[in-house]
Amino acid sequence: MTEDRGRGELKIQQANNATVFTVKVVPRSSKTAIAGVLGEMLKIKLSAAPEKGKANEALIVFLAETLGVKKNAITITAGQTSPVKTIRITGISAEMVLQKLNQ
């Protein structure tokens, strides 16, 4: 997945029946949506505020809906309190993630 302005390409890895990639979250946006790729990270705008885990939960729900997986298949493995987070999704291939993100 590449952004129109050509800032980078999403770095996505497949390991042990899981797909791993990094996201940059922009909380308190007007709407929840994919905003493109920033460097090697997927940039996602979230309408939720970054308080009491609300943005993290909104991120998991959005990714689950976008990728067609269950919420419990998605784990934030790093960056719980940071805007840059490492996401691990089980049961879906890296190729399928890229395909669904590009739709």
- How many CA atoms lie within 13 Å of 31's alpha carbon, on the beta-carbon side? 3
- How many CA atoms lie within 13 Å of 77's alpha carbon, on the beta-carbon side? 12
pTM: 0.90
pLDDT of residue 11: 93
Question: Helix, strand, or coil here: 60?
Answer: helix
Closest CA to 85 of 66, 102, 60: 60
pLDDT of residue 31: 96
pLDDT of residue 102: 84
Average pLDDT for consecutive 10-residue bins of the chain (103 residues)?
54 92 96 94 96 96 96 97 96 93 84
pLDDT of residue 7: 54
CATH of domain 12-101: 3.30.1200.10
